[in-house]
Structure 1
Amino acid sequence: MKTIIDIARAAGVAKSTVSRYLNGGSVSEETREKIERIIKQHNYVPNTFAQSLKAKKTSIIGTIVPRLDSFAVSQTLMGIDDELRDRQHQLLISSANQDLNREIEAIYDLARQKISGLLLLAAEITEQHLKAIRDCRVPVVVIGQQHSLLHSVIHDDFHAGYMMGKHILDKGHRRIAYLGVTERDIAVGVMRKEGFRKALAEYNGCEVRYYESGFRMNAAVEAANHLLEDWTPTIVVCGTDNIALGVMRAAFLKQIPIPSGLSVTGFGGYEITEIIHPALTTVKYHYKRAGKLAAENIISLVNRENVDMVTVLDCQIIDRESVDILYRRSI
């Protein structure tokens, strides 16, 4: 069996019914089971790109990522790919390499390849993004950032920052440095920091200073060197796990022991944070789950189904050895 028509004849249904099933549309449970049984029996594999030449809507979902060498991005992509495969859709990836212009170009490039929907992992949403999305006229779900005009899947960054603030206060830390990222990134650069500020504002007697780093580890090492020359906090709360690893590297080079000489925390829950020594205290984010939900949402939008504008995922503190206990106090 080589075509949708062959499958439809064997199943005793219309060609449009098979097409709707292959594109993730709604069919009855009985029909779905019948079509699946015939597809498996004859090892039928839909030629998605061939279908796109004939159809106005394809089963190809474009995904734009800021970079490929990121744990968060790779885990999110795994979740997206798993869900799309389960729903008979294909994933087409474009990397912007942290270049805003390339990100905008990628939106237009993917639209020209007749994608049916777009998933966007962006550090910020600008007017250029909004114009490109309007021009391309395909459903869009943003992952990791929230915008009032776009559907999004986000992590609860504000609550994550708040939990971390409460956690380090409970460990007795009062001389605190926060090493974050640019506020152009609303989720990481603003929401995590504002949640952290709220926790500290509920307790009088803290001295806290705020610093900024890039996302990459070498930028974090440089920022940490400046921070540790400028001040001597008991703890550095880092906006990402990658930044935390940079701080730990800088402390090692300065022969500052962790956690007795300096405590360090991160956000993300990267796998490496569990196997380094000392293991890193962090906030675990569910990146694969975010990718799966984003894939579910974009398919629903393609099929003109209702989707919540914002889907929020929870997170959790992972308490490990990188934070010294100065003294305990109920918060």
Structure 2
Amino acid sequence: MRTIKDIAKLADVSRTTVSRVLNDSGYVSEKSRKKVLDVIEETGYVPSQHAKSLRTKETKIIGVILPKISTDTSSRTVDGMNEVFGEKGYQILLTSTNLDKVKEIEHLRLLQNRQVDGIVLLATNTDEDLIREIQDSKVPVVVIGQEVPHDSGIPSVVFDDYGAAVKLMEALIGSGRRKIGYVGVEAADQAVGVLRKRAYLDVMERHGLESGAPSVQTGDFSIESGYEAASRMFSDGTGDIDAIFAATDRMGIGVWKYLREAGISVPGQVAVVGIGSSETSRFIEPAMTTVEYEFEAAGRAGAEILLSILNGFDNGPDKKILDFKLISRDSL
């Protein structure tokens, strides 16, 4: 799907110029106007506000694809979206992929067939097949939570996953921890699987600390996988691990449960930290040190970008990066 950015690039003009031509507002030289109109004719580009009138029916429905409906992350993000969409008279149609990346493509196609006006995707991966599917979509798509290629033309909302993980690692090292284990997820997930692990490895290297098996383990986001990862980490009798950084709170809770059952004190012998600031992380004892993301803000940002595209306006930067907050609790 062509965007204003694409037309501006092909015509060698600014996106503001393209918007002015499309909306017949503001000064544009005849030379620039002709360049824009020629590109529009060549590409068959239809501006969003005109596309709405060409559809047989404007549904006022936005499709939202979630990795899981039941998680705190998903519910808070949807709350933020619903706040923005609701004010503009839109309703949300939710689907869940259950962390199956194949279903992300299936659900993109399903929602387009349901004639939604646009889609917000809380992606679990951004492989070539998914990127191609989004680019070929009949309706605009905004991705939340995963990095997309810079030249893809796909708008996204992401958190500073690398920076957040570095902050946690520096907090652990600042507290005197040196043998730090890591529980992550598969590399198919760019945000959690790649960026957070990269931060862990970079900080360990910067401080001259060793990392590697069995102190680096992989889970699947679940509490159970965190428990099993911690079990593997300690199965060879290794007793010098003094901290574990879990890439998500849920896996961190699994780590915490294993340590408690194994008679290993937290944080006396092993500190445990995670990312996500989930409700449960507040109520376990000791409460878990974590990074808080404003998931509602991510939902609002994604909704605002999508509405901007639907209304035919320049959608601004391709990527919006949201900040984070370190929440220090008793597990550190």
Residue 81 (structure 1) shift: 1.1
Query: 1:299-310 counterparts in 2 under 5 A?
Result: 299-307=307-315, 308-310=317-319
Q: Which residue of 2 is the match for residue 176 of structure 1?
A: 180
Q: Which residue of 1 is the match for residue 329 of structure 2?
A: 320
Residue 55 (structure 1) shift: 4.1
Residue 197 (structure 1) shift: 2.5
Q: Which residue of 1 is the match for residue 74 of structure 2?
A: 73
User: Which shifted more, 184-193 or 124-133?
Assistant: 124-133
Separation in structure 2 between the aligned mates of residue 305 and residue 138 of structure 1, nearest angstrom: 15
Query: 1:58-207 counterparts in 2 under 5 A?
Result: 58-148=59-149, 149=152, 150-205=154-209
Residue 109 (structure 1) shift: 0.9
Separation in structure 2 between the aligned mates of residue 250 and residue 204 of structure 1, nearest angstrom: 28
Separation in structure 2 between the aligned mates of residue 124 and residue 109 of structure 1, nearest angstrom: 19
Residue 54 (structure 1) shift: 7.4
Separation in structure 2 between the aligned mates of residue 240 and residue 197 of structure 1, nearest angstrom: 16
User: Which shifted more, 174-183 or 199-208?
Assistant: 199-208
**What's the RMSD between the two structures over aligned residues?**
2.1
Q: Which residue of 1 is the match for residue 228 of structure 2?
A: 222
Residue 52 (structure 1) shift: 11
Query: 1:2-13 counterparts in 2 under 5 A?
Result: none
Residue 261 (structure 1) shift: 2.1
From 218, 232, 247, the counterpart of 1:239: 247
Q: Which residue of 2 is the match for residue 22 of structure 1?
A: none
Residue 205 (structure 1) shift: 4.4
Q: Which residue of 1 is the match for residue 218 of structure 2?
A: 212
Separation in structure 1 between the aligned mates of residue 180 and residue 98 of structure 2, nearest angstrom: 33
Residue 53 (structure 1) shift: 12
Unaligned residue ranges in structure 1 (runs of 5+)? 1-50, 324-331
Aligned residues: 274
- TM-score of the two chains, using structure 2 as the length reference: 0.78
State whether residues 61 and 119 of structure 1, in contact with CA within 8 Å, keep that contact through their aligned partners in structure 2.
yes
Residue by residue over 1:239-268, the C-alpha shift from the partner in whole angstroms, topping out at 9 and shown as x without a partner, is 000000000111122111111121100001
State whether residues 164 and 324 of structure 2, in contact with CA within 8 Å, keep that contact through their aligned partners in structure 1.
yes
State whether residues 62 and 118 of structure 1, in contact with CA within 8 Å, keep that contact through their aligned partners in structure 2.
yes
Separation in structure 2 between the aligned mates of residue 162 and residue 266 of structure 1, nearest angstrom: 12
Distance 1:54 1:173, change over 3 A: closer
Separation in structure 2 between the aligned mates of residue 306 and residue 201 of structure 1, nearest angstrom: 42
Separation in structure 2 between the aligned mates of residue 179 and residue 54 of structure 1, nearest angstrom: 48
State whether residues 221 and 250 of structure 2, in contact with CA within 8 Å, keep that contact through their aligned partners in structure 1.
yes
From 267, 273, 284, the counterpart of 2:281: 273
